[in-house]
């Protein structure tokens, strides 16, 4: 981890990186294993020691490390993304969504994309000051900053660390456009800043709803808000004047695809004005973690789900090709697209929301800048 300074904090008892017995799920966690990342030379595997003792599922506590960020804005040139810059307040995500496409990024920290991703988090307090410096640079050209495109900025640890609050305060203070993606309820805490930003045309929010089935959500997204609570988030944001887009993401073939129209209708009733969808993505380590979870959690549907996944991915678990990775290809993917288009048209939802304003931006002032007036 070059040029990264990490301090180590714990919430509760010490968690365990490895040694999860095969088939045993850690309570309130998503995936079933914690295999080493693809850059590691060695791994550790749990095994039964022969004592035949009955053990309860383990309660593994969340640990938060601190990174003193040297940069805040991450740039990308991906042709199938609608933004070219983002800010990541956290690495890893306590929501523990089994399907999360961001899990492989934990391997760059010498941590597992499995349980480590949802237990060993990295917070970046102080990132607000770094962001101010970057926005003040002479060469900076304003365009919307996306937050929540990798891991959720309003995951549970935000209540304690308030890193996303720092980011919003900086962007609100200089009228910088912002696009947020979340499934976290903590976004409601920041409505004092987000409401005025929305009134100026500087903000839009995407709320992810994967399923309306609370039981399936709890198994698949163990520490995320239940579906009904996410719909309430949409209502509260809408009441504050924030334009909200529901994100049916991911659509899981053979497991949640039948809910597409129901999710869109429920979100529209809650006040959403836009909608989008993304097919299940299984890059790198996510594919194995997903298959392992699927066999344990949905054994009767596992074969069907993977057959549909591969049908939409050219016979593979995943295809990362630009333009295909978000929606897939083939008959099944085309059918989902047609259903989505008809549903949003019927419900009056927009697939593309109005562009955010960039003309109001002014570089953040340094302390003492007002002295120039004298």
Q: pLDDT of 272-293, one tens digit each?
A: 999 999 999 999 999 999 999 9
67 domain residue, yes or no: yes
366 domain residue, yes or no: no
The mean pLDDT value for 194-204 works out to 98
194 phi and psi angles, rounded to 5 deg: -70, -35
DSSP assignment of 89-123 equals SEES-TT--TT-TTGGGGGGGTS-TTHHHHHEEEE
42 domain residue, yes or no: no
Question: Which pLDDT band, with edges at 50, 70 and 90, does 246 fall under?
Answer: very high
Report the C-alpha gap between 300 and 302 in whole angstroms: 6
373 domain residue, yes or no: no
Task: Quote the number of domains for the chain.
Answer: 1
Which residues on neighbouring strands pair with residue 315, listed in sequence order?
none
Report the C-alpha gap between 327 and 177 in whole angstroms: 27
Q: Radius of gyration (Cα) for the chain, nearest Å?
A: 21
Residue 251 near residue 343, CB atoms below 8 Å: no
310 domain residue, yes or no: yes
> What is the span of the domain harbouring residue 15?
6-36+61-352
The confidence score (pLDDT) of residue 15 equals 38
Question: Which pLDDT band, with edges at 50, 70 and 90, does 27 fall under?
Answer: confident
Report the C-alpha gap between 350 and 367 in whole angstroms: 42
| Total-model pTM | 0.90
Residue 90 near residue 121, CB atoms below 8 Å: yes
The confidence score (pLDDT) of residue 12 equals 35
Average pLDDT, the chain: 90
Per-residue burial over 329-367, b if 16 or more Cβ lie within 10 Å, else e, is beebbeebeebbeebbeeeebeeebeebbeeebeebeee
Residue 13, pLDDT > 60, answer no
The residue among 47 and 65 whose pLDDT is bigger is 65
282 domain residue, yes or no: yes
> Is 267 strand, coil or helix?
helix
The mean pLDDT value for 252-267 works out to 98
Residue 211 near residue 228, CB atoms below 8 Å: no
Report the C-alpha gap between 107 and 225 in whole angstroms: 26
Residue 103, pLDDT > 90, answer yes
CATH classification at residue 94: 3.80.30.30
Lookup result for tokens 């562009």:
355
Residue 33, pLDDT > 60, answer yes
The confidence score (pLDDT) of residue 49 equals 57
pLDDT single digits (tens) 118-147 = 999 999 999 999 999 999 999 999 999 999
Report the C-alpha gap between 290 and 64 in whole angstroms: 25
Burial (CB count <10 Å: 0-12, 13-18, 19+), residue 90? buried
The confidence score (pLDDT) of residue 58 equals 59
Report the C-alpha gap between 139 and 211 in whole angstroms: 43
Q: Is 220 left (phi over 0), alpha (psi -120 to 50) or beta?
A: alpha
Residue 6, pLDDT > 80, answer no
The confidence score (pLDDT) of residue 48 equals 56
145 domain residue, yes or no: yes
The confidence score (pLDDT) of residue 41 equals 75
192 domain residue, yes or no: yes
């Amino acid at each position: 981890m070059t040029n990264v300074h990490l301090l180590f904090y714990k919430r509760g008892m010490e968690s365990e990186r490895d040694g999860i017995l095969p088939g045993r799920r850690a309570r309130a966690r998503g995936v079933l294993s914690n295999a080493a990342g693809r850059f590691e030379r060695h791994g550790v595997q749990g095994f039964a020691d022969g004592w035949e003792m009955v053990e309860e599922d383990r309660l593994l506590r969340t640990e938060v490390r601190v990174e003193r960020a040297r940069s805040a804005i991450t740039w990308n040139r991906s042709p199938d993304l609608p933004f070219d810059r983002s800010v990541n307040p956290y690495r890893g995500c306590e929501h523990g969504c089994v399907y999360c496409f961001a899990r492989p990024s934990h391997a760059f920290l010498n941590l597992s994309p499995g349980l480590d991703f949802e237990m060993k988090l990295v917070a970046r307090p102080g990132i607000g000051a770094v962001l101010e410096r970057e926005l003040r640079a002479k060469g900076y050209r304003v365009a919307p900053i996306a937050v929540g495109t990798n891991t959720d900025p309003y995951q549970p640890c935000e209540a304690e660390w308030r890193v996303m609050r720092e980011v919003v305060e900086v962007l609100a203070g200089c009228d910088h456009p912002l696009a947020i993606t979340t499934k976290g309820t903590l976004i409601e805490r920041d409505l004092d800043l987000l409401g005025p930003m929305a009134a100026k045309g500087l903000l839009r929010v995407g709320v992810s709803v994967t399923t309306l089935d609370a039981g399936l959500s709890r198994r698949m997204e163990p520490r995320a808000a239940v579906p009904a609570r996410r719909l309430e988030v949409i209502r509260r944001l809408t009441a504050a004047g924030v334009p909200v887009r529901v994100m049916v993401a991911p659509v899981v073939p053979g497991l949640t695809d039948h809910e597409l129209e129901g999710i869109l209708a429920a979100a529209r009733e809650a006040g959403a004005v836009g909608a989008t969808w993304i097919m299940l993505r299984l890059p790198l380590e996510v594919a194995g973690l997903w298959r392992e979870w699927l066999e344990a959690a949905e054994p009767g549907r596992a074969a069907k789900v993977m057959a549909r996944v591969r049908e939409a991915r050219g016979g593979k678990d995943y295809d990362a090709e630009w333009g295909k990775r978000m929606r897939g290809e083939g008959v099944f993917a085309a059918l989902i697209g047609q259903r989505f288009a008809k549903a949003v048209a019927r419900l009056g939802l927009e697939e593309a929301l109005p562009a955010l304003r960039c003309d109001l931006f002014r570089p953040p002032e340094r302390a003492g800048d007002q002295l120039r007036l004298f």
